[in-house]
């Protein structure tokens, strides 16, 4: 088993799709060869006690951990707790805090993030949620999409694992573009998590 922790600050629609996908699908190809690597979501981590993702964890009987700023940034970054829960892989699905280096070092090439644009464009500090879509539309881009990438010490910077594109039409608003992006996220993120976590 590969034990995944999903970190999320918000609604958690991606977390839900990932949990459901991993619970209902057989292991990916290389996971099948190494049955013990079959990934499952073992923990949901949030920095917000009222985040929607916690309800999703509860509904799926997955333990949840609410983290505090002080301990995350100046303490052990919860590495001991993650180790104790047997976590081998971390998925950021709308997690808004930058990860401390100590956590990244504890999970080298074992942390991935999804970004709602085609990196390296429209990434970096402050580029999240509607800010991303507003910037894409303001720049009159013809396409946008999703980027799934490894996490390193810089915002939205690690090696890219997967991208998918959608068209940005004249009539699109940040809201309609967000919907198109969400369709791509829900379609691809669970599959990429399953594949990458089992590596």
In angstroms, what is the minimal distance from the CB of 181 to ligand GRF? 6
Told to judge if 130 belongs to the known catalytic residues of this protein, a careful annotator would answer no
- Catalytic residue, from 25, 115, 133, 186: name it: 115
For ligand GRF, which is the closer residue by CB, 27 or 192?
192
114-153 mask for ligand GRF (x: CB under 6 A)?
xxx-------------------------------------
Which helix (H) or strand (E) segment holds residue 68: the answer is none
Residues 95-114 that bind ligand GRF (CB under 6 A): 114
Residues 2-21 that bind ligand GRF (CB under 6 A): 8, 10-15
What count of other Cβ atoms lies within 10 Å of the Cβ of residue 73?
14
Name residues whose C-beta falls within 8 Å of residue 114's C-beta, 6 or more positions apart in sequence.
14, 92, 93, 94, 146, 147, 148, 185, 189
Interacting residue with ligand GRF among 93, 99, 119, 168 (CB under 6 A): 93
- CB half-sphere exposure, 93, CA atoms < 13 A: 32
Per rule CB under 6 A, is residue 157 in the interface with ligand GRF?
Answer: no
Q: Whole-angstrom Cα distance, residue 148 to residue 189?
A: 8
Q: Whole-angstrom Cα distance, residue 190 to residue 28?
A: 11
Q: Which residues bind ligand GRF (CB under 6 A)?
A: 8, 10-15, 93-94, 114-116, 185
């Amino acid at each position: 088993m590969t034990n995944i922790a999903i970190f999320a600050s918000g609604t958690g629609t991606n977390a839900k799709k990932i949990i459901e996908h991993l619970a209902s699908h057989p292991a990916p190809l290389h996971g099948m060869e190494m049955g013990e690597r079959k990934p499952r979501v073992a923990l949901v981590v949030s920095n917000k006690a009222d985040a929607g993702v916690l309800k999703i964890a509860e509904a799926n009987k997955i333990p949840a951990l609410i983290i505090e700023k002080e301990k995350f940034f100046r303490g052990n970054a919860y590495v001991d707790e993650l180790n104790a829960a047997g976590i081998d892989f971390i998925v950021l699905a709308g997690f808004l805090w930058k990860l401390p280096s100590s956590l990244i070092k504890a999970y080298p090439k074992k942390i991935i993030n999804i970004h709602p644009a085609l990196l390296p464009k429209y990434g970096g500090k402050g580029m999240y949620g509607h800010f991303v879509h507003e910037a894409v539309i303001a720049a009159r881009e013809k396409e946008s999409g999703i980027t799934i990438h490894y996490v390193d010490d810089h915002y939205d910077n690690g090696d890219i694992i997967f991208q998918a594109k959608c068209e940005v039409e004249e009539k699109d608003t940040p809201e309609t573009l967000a919907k198109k992006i969400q369709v791509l996220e829900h379609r691809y993120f669970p599959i990429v998590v399953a594949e990458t976590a089992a590596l």
